[in-house]
Amino acid sequence: MANKYKELMRESAANEAQALAAAKEQKASAKAPEKKEPVKKETKEEKTQKEKPVKKKNLGGRPKNADRGLACRKQYTLTLEEDTYQTFLNMAREEKLSFAKFMEKAAFEYIENNK
């Protein structure tokens, strides 16, 4: 009896293996090779026509002088001895100006007086 059971199991496994193999063959033959179409490259003119005007994103912060139509200020470095710097700084504070504005004013006054 045990031999019959083993024999039935072997036959069932063999039948199942054949059925799976046949199913795989049918799937493989059913799939026809697809032809891929080449990707069409768009010209620059076509791209610009497709693009929609994009709103400028507000990045926040203070607007730049150039954006507001103003001339940009330039930065410079001035090397002074400590006591000279303190003298100029104290004079700027007396006139209630920043150090940079005081130096700018002094330079313009010098130019005006020495023309």
| Region of 40 on the Ramachandran plot (φ > 0 left; ψ -120 to 50 alpha; else beta) | beta
For 86, counting Cβ atoms within 10 Å of its Cβ (0-12 exposed, 13-18 middle, 19+ buried), the class is exposed
pLDDT score recorded for residue 1? 64
Q: Which two tokens stand for residue 85?
A: 């710097």
Q: Taking 80 as the threshold, does the pLDDT of residue 84 lie above it?
A: yes
Q: Taking 70 as the threshold, does the pLDDT of residue 6 lie above it?
A: yes
Q: What mean pLDDT is predicted for residues 90-110?
A: 94
Q: Taking 90 as the threshold, does the pLDDT of residue 71 lie above it?
A: no
What percent of the chain clears pLDDT 90, i.e. is strictly above it? Answer: 32
- Calpha distance 41→18 (Å, rounded): 48
- Least confident range from 47-51, 88-92, 93-97: namely 47-51
Query: Angle CA(64)–CA(55)–CA(46) in degrees, nearest 5?
Result: 120
CA atoms within 13 A on the CB side of 73: 6
Q: Which residue has the higher pLDDT, 87 or 36?
A: 87
Model confidence band, residue 39 (pLDDT cutoffs 50, 70, 90): confident
> pTM of the entire structure?
0.41
- Calpha distance 63→42 (Å, rounded): 37
CB atoms within 10 A of CB 99: 14
